[in-house]
Amino acid sequence: MNRTLSSPRRFTGIITKEKKWYVARCVELGVVSQGRTLQQAKDNLQEAVELYIESFGTSDLPA
């Protein structure tokens, strides 16, 4: 059985502080999330990216 294993993709996350919230953006996917702490924003963005990929995949993204 031949299987093609794809290597894990890496995405760029940018987190900025906007008043009381940290806003996290994934540059390549256009996914945005937020959190009250830096760690929450990072965790929420990771979850949002995973859900995006689960729904839409990465086949349309440049390599």
pLDDT at 26: 97
Q: What was the pLDDT predicted at 2?
A: 41
Sign, Cα dihedral of 63, 50, 11, 4: negative
Give dist(CA 25, CA 48) in Å, integer.
10
**22, 35 Cβ separation under 8 angstroms:** yes
Tens-place pLDDT, residues 5-61: 456 788 999 999 999 999 999 999 999 999 999 999 999 999 999 999 999 988 887
User: What was the pLDDT predicted at 63?
Assistant: 65
Q: Cα(10)–Cα(28) distance, rounded to whole angstroms? A: 10
